[in-house]
Amino acid sequence: TQSRVDEMLCQRHGRLCAVTALSRRAVKRTLATKTMLSWPALGGGRPPFAMPPRALSRKEAVYVDNRSYELGATGIVNMENAGLGLTDVVLDELAALEASSGSTVVIVAGRGNNGGDGFVLARHLVLRGFTAKVAFCGNRGQCTDGYRTGDAGVNLTLIERTGVEVEDVTDGEVLTLLLKSRWRDAVLIVDAMLGTGLEGEVRGPYRGWIEAVNAAPQPKVAVDIPSGLDCDTGLPLGVAVKAHCTATFIGNKRGFLKPVASEYTGRVDVVPIGVPAASWSHITAE
């Protein structure tokens, strides 16, 4: 029943407020012995968020983002909502791992919006009693003032000022060393490096960072798309993170429907971030 679902969620995450549909879904899987049931089958519940009628291509995902801004959405609000939904997915993964309060989650973050989502996640994990460690892909000392005043930069500054450990990782070797030494007790790694806009082959330090993440023994959660995976084809662009779970925003992605993609995406959870449905009104079901 719905009350039983909410009771389990409060026990798992210590929540005193209303819980989200994403967390409820994870508990439904437990209650239904891994079988997905619709909400009417469990006695009702909140109606689902509206979503695009089909999986999005790379260009469509970019269009939906841009259209939401034309309608009045702001990047900082979208990033906060994305980070909150991502937190919900990560909390479910931590519960499945039976991770105790204070357990460490490592977030490997790039400089773009995916990294910004990871910074939001770090803040909310700390608020939930977990320890967040952030590996920043690059050198923060080289970040411009423009970056620091952007959406991702604002969230980076916020976690720096509130005590989250952030380490610059200049290449894959530095990240590997961290994961094998000071951060070896982490129970989960979050890939927040590259997003859906990637088209060319992964080059330079990103290749090393991806390989370092894949070499680590911990389970991984990918933010929006596994870094290095092509959004349209579901194939790695040279190399891609192999995630156990992918929290993808707004709608599913076309490449995720390809059989080969599951090796990289793992389970896919679609995370709504509150953008208006008018953002994808031009997209029709195929």
Residue 38 is predicted with a pLDDT of 32
What average pLDDT does the segment 228-242 reach? Answer: 97
Residue 189 is predicted with a pLDDT of 99
With 90 as the cut, is the pLDDT of residue 162 above it?
A: yes
Residue 48 is predicted with a pLDDT of 80
pLDDT digits (tens, 9 = 90+) for 251-260: 999 999 999 9
Residue 7 is predicted with a pLDDT of 44
What average pLDDT does the segment 165-174 reach? Answer: 96
What average pLDDT does the segment 215-223 reach? Answer: 98
Binned at pLDDT 50, 70 and 90, residue 234 comes out as very high
Q: What is the CA radius of gyration of the chain?
A: 18
Q: What predicted TM-score, i.e. pTM, was given to this entire model?
A: 0.84
Q: Which domains does the chain have, with CATH numbers?
A: 1-48 (no CATH), 50-280 (3.40.50.10260)
With 60 as the cut, is the pLDDT of residue 29 above it?
A: no
**Residue of higher predicted confidence among 103 and 282:** 103
pLDDT digits (tens, 9 = 90+) for 32-46: 333 333 333 334 567
pLDDT digits (tens, 9 = 90+) for 64-121: 999 999 999 999 999 999 999 999 999 999 999 999 999 999 999 999 999 999 999 9
Residue 9 is predicted with a pLDDT of 40
Residue 221 CA to residue 89 CA, distance in Å, equals: 9
Q: What percent of the chain has pLDDT over 70?
A: 84
Extract long-range pairs of 241-246: CB within 8 Å, 24+ residues apart.
241/191, 241/193, 241/210, 241/213, 241/214, 242/214, 242/266, 243/191, 244/93, 244/219, 244/220, 245/89, 245/93, 245/219, 245/220, 245/221, 245/269, 246/221, 246/222
